[in-house]
């Protein structure tokens, strides 16, 4: 599904777009602010990240920070989650970061 969003085949509320990364609102939000940050390059999960992809992970973190600032999440705080594999809660086979904010997050999660 995320590859189809990245290619423009499926519409989404795009919040950030550049040559390497796309960010959009989750259609099933788990918090008032639930933004997905995905690389345009397809990788199933963190397990497919290679040494040459390290810059991409850094850029994804930069985009998360930028979106947190733009959405007023810095003062109260926010959570960044990367689910990996079925037992880790991953339901879409494309690497993505969840940016969650706008409510108190509990610990431990799950």
| 96 part of the active site | yes
Q: How far apart are CA 105 and CA 63, in angstroms?
A: 21
Of 16, 42, 61, 96, which residue is the catalytic one? 96
DSSP string, 20-61: SEEEEE-SS-SSSEEEEEEESS--SSGGG--GGGHHHHHHHH
The label of the residue with tokens 């879409």 reads: 92
What order of strands is seen across the sheet that includes strand 33-39? 14-17, 21-25, 33-39, 97-101, 78-81
Cite the active site residues: 96
């Amino acid at each position: 599904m995320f590859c189809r969003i990245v290619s423009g085949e499926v519409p989404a509320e795009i919040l950030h777009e550049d040559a390497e990364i796309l960010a959009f609102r989750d259609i099933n939000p788990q918090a008032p602010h639930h933004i997905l940050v995905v690389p345009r390059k397809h990788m199933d999960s963190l397990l497919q990240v290679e040494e040459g992809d390290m810059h991409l992970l850094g850029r994804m973190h930069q985009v998360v920070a930028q979106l947190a600032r733009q959405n007023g999440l810095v003062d109260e705080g926010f959570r960044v989650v990367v689910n990996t594999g079925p037992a880790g809660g991953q339901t879409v086979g494309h690497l993505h970061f969840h940016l969650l904010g706008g409510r108190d997050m509990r610990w431990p999660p799950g």
